[in-house]
Amino acid sequence: MEAILNISQELGRGLWVTISILIASALLAYLIGFIAGLSRLSKNIFIQKFTGLYIEIFRGTSLIVQLFWLYYAIPMLFGINLGSNWVIGVIAIGLNYGAYLSEVVRGSVEAVDSGQTEAAVALNMSSYQKMRYIILPQAVRMMLPEFGNYTIQMLKGTALVSLISLSDILYYGNILRSSNLSQAPLIYLVVLGFYFILALPLIFLTRKAEDVSKKGVAN
């Protein structure tokens, strides 16, 4: 019991890095998800193809590869060390999951029943009004559970930043293990416990989102 407390205390030092990266990268991913998702639906063929390319590249390769690539490429491309590894971690996770979320956004907007569009046209709404008042409010409800699921995925993804020497929960876990291998099982169990506790609110929010998404949507 005391061992668990000691381990927890040590791991706690990485808590803020994990949480701050999760929040920042999630916000970035949500933003990208909406921009890229709606761009995919744009009538402008150039915007459509360009976002399509971004989405396929980031969904088609691994987060860990993207993280390493950005870790080396950003300093090279800009000739300078852009801020810190924290920023790189946020950008990598944000870009990766932004690509996935954009598909959620696009899919949800497309899934709103065509009768809704017809009703909006019949009420003489402009295409902006139609999107703003009719389509998006329904689409957003449908998106919520997937946004929840992907946020849990992002939480899991944050563990990768320990590989670019950011001192998150796993980073401190690994340090503990290297100094005391016989305690490794307990250390990693506590690490997993930390992530699970962080995931719990997201799990419950996702379940709630599933309820919400079933209501107030035409089908």
Partner 1 sequence: MNYWSFERFFEAWPYILKGLHITVGVTISAFLFAAVFGLVWAILRRVENKQLNFIITWVMEFIRSTPPLVQLFFIYYAWPVIPVVGVTLSPFVSAVVGLGLHFSTYIGEIYRSGIESVGKGQWEAATALNFSTLDKWRKIILPQAFPPTIPMLGNYFIIMFKEVPLASTIGVTGILHMANSFGSTHFNLIEALTIVGIIFLALSYPAAVLIKKLEVKLNTRFDKNADIKPIE
Q: Which of 23, 27, 65, 121 binds partner 1 (CB under 8 A)?
A: 65
Binding segment for partner 1 (CB under 8 A), chosen from 6-14, 27-35, 57-65, 83-91, is 57-65
Q: Are 92 and 28 in contact (CB under 8 A)?
A: no
Query: Which is nearer to partner 1, 132 or 156 (by Cβ)?
Result: 156
Nearest-approach distance from CB 173 to partner 1, in angstroms:
7
Query: Which is nearer to partner 1, 11 or 28 (by Cβ)?
Result: 11
Number of residues that bind partner 1 (CB under 8 A): 42
Reference 218, options 125, 108, 121, 127; nearest CA is: 108
Query: Which is nearer to partner 1, 45 or 79 (by Cβ)?
Result: 79
165 touching partner 1, by CB under 8 A: no
Q: Are 10 and 193 in contact (CB under 8 A)?
A: no
> What are the angstrom distances between the C-alpha of 196 and each of 118, 146, 153, 192?
45, 19, 12, 6
Residues 68 and 88: their CA atoms lie apart, in Å, by 9
Q: Are 93 and 157 in contact (CB under 8 A)?
A: yes
Reference 41, options 101, 100, 106; nearest CA is: 106
Query: Which is nearer to partner 1, 73 or 123 (by Cβ)?
Result: 73
Q: Residue 50: how many CB atoms within 10 A of its CB?
A: 15
Query: Which is nearer to partner 1, 46 or 78 (by Cβ)?
Result: 78
Tell how far CA 175 is from the center of its chain. Answer: 27
Q: Are 166 and 89 in contact (CB under 8 A)?
A: yes
Query: Which is nearer to partner 1, 9 or 62 (by Cβ)?
Result: 62
Segment 141 to 160, residues that bind partner 1, using CB under 8 A = 152, 155-160
4 touching partner 1, by CB under 8 A: no
| Interface characters, 68-97, with partner 1 (x: CB under 8 A) | xx--xx-xx---------------------
Residues 190 and 114: their CA atoms lie apart, in Å, by 50
Segment 191 to 210, residues that bind partner 1, using CB under 8 A = 191-192, 195-196, 199, 202-203
Reference 144, options 191, 200, 105, 106; nearest CA is: 105
Q: Which residues bind partner 1 (CB under 8 A)?
A: 56-57, 59-66, 68-69, 72-73, 75-76, 152, 155-160, 163, 170, 173-174, 177, 181-182, 184-185, 187-189, 191-192, 195-196, 199, 202-203
